[in-house]
Structure 1
Amino acid sequence: MKKIMLVCNAGMSTSLLVQKMQAEAKNRGLDVTIEARPMAEAMENLDSADILLLGPQIGYAKGDFQKATDKPVEVIAMVDYGRMNAPKILDAALAEMN
């Protein structure tokens, strides 16, 4: 099972996106867990994910996360985040993990 962690400032803005991504993964029959965590909590739980997707508003922290883990760290594109484009974001995460 693959685990995707979305990270944002407070953990609130990504909750809707997580729901949409979970629905997309379920529709595709994928064995994927997707969760959202605030930045501080994410740093303490790096081992619980196979990839970290940062909200565009905290893209500045990508380097800090990359130093803290050897797992892929990506910033979600602003346009995809704004449109809640769950299929595209999920595809990008899956491609990075393979």
Structure 2
Amino acid sequence: MIKILLCCGGGFSSSFVAERMKKEIQNLGMEDDVMIEFSPFSIAKNRFLEFDIVVCCPHLNIYVKQLVEKEDIPIPIYVLPPRMYGNMEIKEIYQDACDLIQMFQETHQNPVHFPHEDNVLRITRQCAYRHQ
């Protein structure tokens, strides 16, 4: 099972999205595959080790970069492309999470991103990287 921590600035939008995605997980019968919770980014660091990956809203990009410059984070941190955040589908997020976890195990570099997607604000895809 992949455990995802979804973070936004104050936890307001991510809490709504996480609850919607939990229902989607149940509707699709993916309870054995993926679990998602939310947290405001400012307090999330205390919970990182409970999860396999931290997925952050696009507006946290600068804060994620600042965090990984100061600290060695032992799990992948991924900043979602803006269009994916607006249309989050659990199957797509799950696919990206699986691929990103594997990439991180090989590189140990944060924030983790797919090839040619180092500038999150230029990414226009709305689906998992491997589905584009």
Give TM-score, length-normalised by structure 2.
0.63
* Contact map agreement 2:58 2:82 (CA 8 A) in 1: yes
Which structure is larger by alpha-carbon Rg, 1 or 2?
A: 2
1:96 to 91, 94, 100: 100
Offset, 1:60:
1.2
What is the DSSP-based 3-state SS (H/G/I as helix, E as strand, rest coil) of the residue aligned with 2:25? helix
Q: Which moved more, 1:34-43 or 1:81-90?
A: 81-90
* Higher relative contact order (CA closer than 8 Å, sequence separation 6+): 1
What amino acid maps onto 1:14 in structure 2? S
2:114 is matched with none
1:13 is matched with 13
What amino acid maps onto 2:79 in structure 1? V
Give structure 1 regions of 4+ aligned residues with deviation exceeding 6 angstroms.
none
* Contact map agreement 2:8 2:40 (CA 8 A) in 1: yes
* Contact map agreement 1:17 1:86 (CA 8 A) in 2: no
1:43 is matched with 45
Task: Quote the Cα distance in structure 2 between the aligned partners of 1:43 and 1:97.
Answer: 18
Query: Does residue 33 of the first structure (1) align with residue 35 of the second (2)?
Result: yes
Q: List aligned pairs for 1:53-72, cutoff 5 A.
A: 53-63=55-65, 64-65=67-68, 67-72=71-76
Structure 2: tracts of 5 or more residues without a match: 103-132
**Greater strand proportion:** 1
- Percent identity over paired residues: 27
Structure 1: tracts of 5 or more residues without a match: none
Task: Quote the Cα distance in structure 1 between the aligned partners of 2:90 and 2:30.
Answer: 15
Give TM-score, length-normalised by structure 1.
0.82
2:87 is matched with 83
Task: Quote the Cα distance in structure 2 between the aligned partners of 1:65 and 1:22.
Answer: 28
Query: Does residue 23 of the first structure (1) align with residue 27 of the second (2)?
Result: no
